[in-house]
Amino acid sequence: MTPHTDSRTLGEMFAELTRETRTLVQNEFELAKTELTQKASKMGRSVGFIVAGGLIVYGGFLAIVAAIVLALMAIGLAAWAGAMLGGVLVAGIGYLLIRSGLSGLRSEDLTPRETIQTLKEDVRWLRTQTK
């Protein structure tokens, strides 16, 4: 078995290792940024559900308040009952949207797993380069 000889000086090898490490870190940063951007866009949909649900719940609350006012103004009239039923229905729909959005956020894992895996590989590679 013949030993591997390298005609580069120690300074040249160190400079090359520094350049490669810098490039590697920059690539890992870009990968992490891309991965987090993808996960954030998925979370945007869940946040949209929460906002929409909140607005609908607010509308339902206003309808319930209107129903109470109508009930006080005209006890015994059917108008308040309709407003109350509509308010409860709208608030129920809003509640379901909020729950759907929250469950979507809970299930989303923000850990940049690909980046972590490649960083582990990079550490192994760097160790082999410095031996």
Mean pLDDT of the chain: 79
Task: State yes or no: pLDDT of 112 exceeds 80.
Answer: no
Q: Is the confidence at residue 77, as pLDDT, over 60?
A: no
What integer pLDDT is reported at residue 1 of this predicted model?
53
Cα separation of the two ends of the chain: 19
Q: Is 63 exposed, middle or buried (0-12, 13-18, 19+ CB in 10 A)?
A: buried
Examine the pLDDT at 5 and tell me if it is beyond 70. Answer: no
Please compute the mean of the pLDDT values over residues 86-100 and round it to a whole number: 84
